[in-house]
Each structure stands twice: as C-alpha cells, then as structure tokens.
Structure 1
Amino acid sequence: MFTNLILYRIAQLPHTDPSEVEQALAKTPFVECGATQERSSGWVPPRSEDHGALVESVGGQWIARFMTEAKQIPAEVLRRRVDAKAEAIERATGRKPGKKERRELQDEAKLDLLPMAFTKQGSTWVWIDREARTLVIDAGSQGRADEITTALVEALPGLSLALVDTQTSPQAAMAHWLREQEPPAGFSIDRECELKSAGEDKAVVRYGRHPLDIAEVQQHIAQGKLPTRLALTWDDRVSFVLTEGLQLKKLQFLDAVFDGRTEDDSGFDADAAIATGELVRLVPDLIEALGGEGRAT
C-alpha cells in the first residue's frame, strides 16, 4: 500500500471522528478533467468502490486517497500548432507575431489540443494516525505532498501540520552510521547509498547492490562527501531508503511481515492493517534513532 513516506506531525486535529473528515473531504471529490481542463484533483474512495467512503478507519487508523489527473500535450505537437497559427497570421498580415502574441497563440493552441490530449492519472495514499498525531503521505516528491497537505488544511479548518524534524539531521546520522559502521538499534545498513560533495564540484558517488562496510566509503566521508540516501532495514521486517530530507523511499515489507498470513488475509483491510501496524512502530524507532524530535509540538 505504501512505497514512499513523507512524515508530518499533527499539532492540532480539529476532528475526532473519521466521519467528520469524510464530510469535509466530500466537498472536493475528484472529477475527471473537462474537455479544455488541463488538470484536476480531489479525493476518491480508498477502496476504489463507486460512491464509497472517502475516509476508511482500519484498526483506528484513518486512510484516504488523493487522485490527480493531467492532460499531456507533447511539446513538439504544441510548438507545431503555434507555428502554424503564426504562419497564418504572417500570410494574412505580412508581419510576424511578436513574443507576447506568440504566448497568446500558445494558449489558444493548448485549448485547441486539450480535448484530444491523453490523460494520466495518479493516486496517493494518505494516513492519519490520530493517537500518535502523525500524518503520513505516500508521495514520491515534496511537491506532491505539499499539494495534498494544502488540500487537507483547506478542507479541515484548524488542522495544523509541520514536517517531522529531528535533533540529529538524517544526513549527519547517516554519515555517522557509515563512518563508524554502527547502525542504530533495531536497524541494519543495506547495500545502497549516495554520497554527495558539498564543494563546488558537487561530486556524487553512488553504490548499488554493493557492501558499504568498506574503507572506500569511509574515505569519501572523511573527504567531505555526505550521504543523501542510505538503504536500511528495520527489525528484519521493513526495508527502505532514508533520504537527507527525512523521506522514506522504496518501502518494502519483508517476508517476516507475512508469516502466518493466509489467502483469506487479503484485500484493503488486511493490507492497511499490515502496513500501518508495521509503520506505527517503525516511525517512532526511526525518530528515536535520529535523536528524537527537535521541534516543540
């Protein structure tokens, strides 16, 4: 269910029941793009059921899903349409359109092409752990997470969020773990890492499927390169890549998580229960490994 995690601390959540959040999100449901609409976004049922609830509570954990749709016009196609319009004006008037007019022609061309454009949809899981005051967004980029948190704050007046901040920066902690070859309790270092120089050359060294307990890695750190990504495994149950911005990427639940699971243990409820059940323990352990939270909440 989750593949990337961006973590927020909920300073204030004005709602105590998922049905209240459901009613608020229902005001901005996802609707597909209209003929000349370039982009659309909104909330969809997590279970993918028509007219289903927009917020599901599984084991006390609230799950929602945010959908976006964008129409894609290839740049070359748009350029040719603008050129054709500009040539038509030049033939009719004997003058070439200037920069301002070409910008207007580009807007016209886009409106012409949007009804025929292909659409691309994408959805993002949103998890609210009310008891732990944590919001988790399964986004691959901070920009997408920002869009979703903005939508949540607009839908839920009084909601107050802040990115989780830790006493020790992920970059400093990762450098220490690699330099000393001493991962924090409960974690192990895997075989993927990216090191980047802070100097003008911005040199980057990447290791993939490669042991990191080698002198070469320690030498890079001694020379001033700092880790921006490091693969870790937590409790032999969940593997992920930690980034310098405290994002968890390439999240993968390992075999131990599914021991004893039968064919009946499948579907949305089982997936949500398993994912949140593991992450509700992993997230506090990771924050503790980074020295605890550094921002008063």
Structure 2
Amino acid sequence: MWFKQLSIYPLNKAQLPTLETLADKLAAAEFAPCMGLDWDSVGFAAPASFQPQEMVFAAQNTWRVALKKEEKVLPAAVVRDILDDKVQEIQNAEGRNVGRKEKQELKDNITDDLLPRAFTKSSRTEAVFDTDHGLLLVNNANANKAEALLTKLREALGGLEARLPRTNQSPGSLMTDWLLRGAGEGGFELDSDCELKGLGDAAATVRMSKQDLSAEEVINHVKNGKIVTQLGLCWQERVRFVLTQDFTLKRIQFLDVLQEEAASHGDDMASLMFASQILMSEALSTLIAELVLHLGGWAE
C-alpha cells in the first residue's frame, strides 16, 4: 500500500479527467493475458484486490491506478538446443550443411511452436493521482517503467498533460550544498547515505551508507570537486528517503507516526488502504512541495 520509490510528474490540474471518466477509460484498456504468439500484454488492472472490478481506487481526492504487464518467458538456451538438434538431424538425413537463412527460419518455427506453451511472468506499476496538489506519483524510480505507465495513461485517456519534474535549481546542486554545509533546510535533515561523483567520464564514484554525513571526511569529497548524486534525507521525522539527481525518491520509509495514524482508522484491508493512501499522498506531495521551494520552484 505504501510506495517504496517515486517518480514525480506535475499535472495540469485544469485538464484532469473526472474520476468517472478515468475509471471508464481504464476499464476500456483493461489488461488481458498473453494469447497465442503474443510475447507480452499490457493493460490496466484493479489496484485493490478486494475490488477486482474497479480500475481506480479512490480515497478522497487521490486516485490509485495500476498497470499490469505480462511477458512470455522462453529461455534462449532452450530454443538453441532444439535448433541444434534439428540442424544435426537435417545434416545427417540429407548429407548437407544448413545455411544461415534456413537456420533462422527453423529458429522462427521453433519459437512459434514453443511460445503458446511458454511460462509467463507478470509485473505491476502503481500510481496515484493527487488531484489537490496536481501530481502524478508513480511507485517506481526507473524512468523507463514510469514513462511506460504514463504513455499508457495518455493512450487510454486520449491525452494527459504531465511533464518531467524540472526545477530552477538542480537537485544535485542543492544536495551538494546541503552536504557541504553538513545540514539540510526547513523540514529536511541529513540521514546517513549518499553517493558522490567526480567530474568527467572516468571520474570515481563514492558511496556511503550508515555514515555521519556531517563528518569532515565526507565534506572533503565535496571540497575536492565531487558532486552529490544521491542523498539520504529525513523529512519532519515522518518520511525517510534517498533523493536522486533526477528528482526521484528511492528507499522510502514512512515512519511510525504515519503507520500508526493509518492503523487507527481500522484494521480491515479497505480501511487501511483508504487511510494509508490519503496519508501517504499528503505526506509525499507536501514533502515534494517543500523540496521544490528549496529548488527555486518549477522551471517554466
């Protein structure tokens, strides 16, 4: 229920679909399993297991959606072994070599024969529309996977005004400044993890974990020309996370105060998911708003 990593997309609040439109459009783009010779299948699925027919889980002004992907698993070694046996059989029976073009045709036929019987693996990417703050919060820090979900949302909705999280000051510059000073600002405190890189293609990378980031030995890396590319932070003693130079959040931990507040709303699955989604979205969106303030605002 609680996101572990985050890609952020600011939205045009004035152009957001209604909840009903979103639900209808995603239902029309519902996931269907891989069939026959399909290698993969992608579509929207119910984000809440206790509401299997609902494509959107709404908690006040936050709407959770889920994109499901199913892929066929056909190990190359299996195809290669069958192909080798087939080639050897032809060579023994007909006394001739099998050329490259014929091998490729044999390989294609073997693949087509095996594909309908191949195992499948599935994955899900979840996201929450925070309509109050105008943000799409994607539970994945991988740019390709986050963009894949955004692309499918745009296809289903016939367009969605979402942009990359560009700010007037780069996150790397702000993180480097905070590390150099040995302290964050506002509600942000330095935690105990960071990554620093030097300039140039062959520059060294230094990673630190469970380290006092205000220590002189850490600060000296910045003084010697390295920039911070990832920085562990704690926000208002409510959320721990690692901020990256791409403005994604990794290794998010929602601390006890939030977990306990969600649990106080009930212990059944629906109540927990409803409360945790509201608390999580509010915490993340408020955290992001404060970060953007320190970064000089959103770039035009």
User: Structure 1 residues 177-186 or 194-203, which shifts more?
Assistant: 194-203
Structure 1 segment 124-139 matched on structure 2, within 5 A: 124-139=125-140
Residue 122 of structure 2 aligns to a residue in which SS? Answer: strand
Contact 2:265 2:275 in 1 (8 A): no
1:63-78 to structure 2, matched below 5 A, reads 63-78=64-79
CA–CA distance in structure 1, aligned partners of residues 28 and 95 of structure 2: 50
Amino acid at match of 1:97: G
Choose 226-235 or 9-18, whichever is displaced more. Answer: 9-18
* Residue 165 of structure 1: how far off its partner (Å): 0.7
Whether the 8 Å CA contact 1:30–1:41 is kept in 2: the answer is yes
Could you tell me how far apart the structure 2 residues matched to 1:199 and 1:228 are?
Answer: 14
Give the secondary structure class of the aligned counterpart of 1:184: coil
* 1:274 Cα offset (Å): 2.2
Answer yes or no: is the 8 Å Cα contact 1:12–1:159 preserved in 2.
no
SS of the residue 2:252 aligns to: strand
RMSD (CA atoms): 2.1
On the 8 A contact 1:13/1:158 being kept in 2, the answer is: no
Work out whether 1:275 is the aligned partner of 2:280.
yes
AA at the equivalent of 2:97: R
The structure with the greater share of residues assigned to helix is 2
Q: How many angstroms apart in 1 are the aligned matches of 2:104 and 2:238?
A: 54
Q: Superposition pairs for residues 152-171 of structure 1, below 5 Å?
A: 152-171=153-172
Report the CA distance shift for 1:281/1:226 in structure 2 as closer, same or farther (over 3 A): same
Structure 1 residues 270, 106: closer, same or farther in 2, change over 3 A? farther
Question: Does 2:10 match 1:22?
Answer: no
Matching residue of 2:111: 110
TM-score with structure 1 setting the length = 0.90
Q: Which moved more, 1:197-206 or 1:186-195?
A: 197-206
Q: How does 1:177-196 map to 2 (within 5 A)?
A: 177-196=178-197
Q: How many residues align?
A: 294
> How far, CA to CA, are the matches of 1:109 and 1:50 in structure 2?
41
Larger strand percent: 1
TM-score calculated relative to the size of structure 2 = 0.89
Is the aligned partner of 1:287 residue 2:289? no
Q: 1:197 to 1:44 in 2, by over 3 A?
A: same
Aligned-residue identity in percent: 32
Unaligned runs of 5+ in 2: none
Going from structure 1 to structure 2, the CA distance change for 1:213 and 1:168 (only over 3 Å counts) comes to same
From the superposition, tell whether residues 84 and 243 of structure 1 become closer, same or farther in structure 2 (CA, over 3 Å).
farther
Q: Secondary structure at the match of 1:125?
A: strand
